[in-house]
A and B are shown apart, each in its own frame.
Chain A
C-alpha cells in the first residue's frame, strides 16, 4: 500500500499518464530485488490478494450489461475480436517460445 501511495504521489507530481499501480509494482519489485523488503515479510499480505484476484474483477465484469445495445448490434464484430485477438497472440507466442525452448520442458 505504501508503494501504491508513493506511485500515486509520483504520478501526480509528474502529471504523467503511466498507470500508478504498475509503477507501484515496479517499485515493490526493486525493493524485493535489493532486499529492502523481504519476501517472507510480504507474502502473508500478497498471497491472499493474488489468490482472490478474480473476485476483484467481478463488479467490472458485470459491466457488460451496460452495453447490451452495442453488443446486440455489433455481436459479429465483437465475437470476432474476442476470439481472434487472444487466439492469434496465444498461438504466436507459444510457437515463438517452443521454437527456442522445445514443446516439452527440459529444465
Chain B
C-alpha cells in the first residue's frame, strides 16, 4: 500500500478537476452549491483514508506539493486587491470597519460559545481565529495555544458552508448589493467562500478577495490582543 502514496497528488488533482468540470456544467444554483468540488473531494478522500485505515500524516506529507502553493496563491491575491483598489479607496473606511466588526464578532461569539459549553481552554483557543484564511488560522491558533490542525479543518468547513449557502442566505434576505455580498462573504467565509464568489460574479469575488485579504491582515493584528482579554473575562 505504502508505495502507492505517490498517487496522492494526481488523485487529488484529477478528482478535483473532474468534479469541477461536472460542477461547471450544472446550472441549477442549489445543485451547483451541493456539488461543490472542494467539499466532495475532501469528503471522498477523507472516507477513503478512514475506511482503508491509511494515516493522514503520510497523506499530508505526500500532498505537500499542493499545500505549498497556498502561500504563493495568497501573495497573488494582491492582483484582485489592486484591480479593486478604486472601489476600496472610495469605500476604504466602510470596508475596513466591516472587516474589523466581522473579526471582533467572530472571536466574541466563539469565546461566548466556549463559555456556554464550558469547554477546556485548548479547545476554546482552537475556535478563536476562524474568520480568516487557513495559513493565518494556523499561525494565530498556534500562538493562542489551540489545536491548529483542528482550527484549519473547521475553517475549511466554514468555507464550504459559505460556498454552499452564503449567497443563498443573502439573496433570501434581499441583499443584492455586490459590495455587501462580497465583503460579508470574504470576511466570514475566507478563501473557499471567496473562490465560490469569484465563480458566481467577478465583482462579488473581487470585493470578497479585498475583504479576505484585509481580514487576514486585521485578524493577525486584532485576535492575539482580543482573545486573551475575552478569555480572561469569560472563561
Which residues of chain B are near A105, meaning CB under 8 Å? 176-179
With a CB–CB cut-off of 8 A, which chain A residues contact B216? 19, 22
Q: Distance (Å) between the CB of B127 and the closest chain A CB?
A: 5
Residue A72, interface by CB 8 Å: no
Number of A-B residue pairs having CB atoms within 8 Å of each other in the complex:
280
State whether A32 and B82 are in contact (beta carbons under 8 Å apart), knowing that A49-B72, A58-B38, A77-B113 are contacts in the complex.
yes
User: For residues 42 through 93 of chain A, which have their beta carbon under 8 Å from a beta carbon of chain B?
Assistant: 42-43, 45-47, 49-50, 52-68, 70, 74, 76-78, 80-93
Q: How large is the interface on B (under 10, 10 to 19, 20 to 34, 35 or more residues)?
A: 35 or more
**Interface members, chain B 195-232 (any A CB < 8 Å):** 195, 198, 209, 213, 216-217, 220, 224
Does any Cβ of A come within 8 Å of B63's Cβ?
yes
- Which of A22, A47, A94 has a CB less than 8 Å from the CB of B170? A94
Nearest chain A residue, comparing its CB with the CB of B198: A50
Docked-complex contact B162 and A86, CB < 8 angstroms: yes
A 1-39 binary contact with B (CB < 8 Å = 1; else 0): 101100000000000011111101110110011000001
Interfacial residues, chain B to chain A (CB-CB below 8 A) = 12-13, 16, 37-38, 41-42, 45-46, 49-50, 56, 59-60, 63-64, 66-67, 69-83, 85, 91, 94, 97-99, 101-103, 105-106, 109-110, 113-114, 117, 119, 123, 127, 130-131, 134-136, 139, 143, 147, 149-150, 152-154, 156-159, 161-162, 166, 169-170, 173-181, 183-185, 187-189, 191-192, 194-195, 198, 209, 213, 216-217, 220, 224
Residues of A within 8 A of B (CB): 1, 3-4, 17-22, 24-26, 28-29, 32-33, 39, 42-43, 45-47, 49-50, 52-68, 70, 74, 76-78, 80-94, 96-98, 100-105
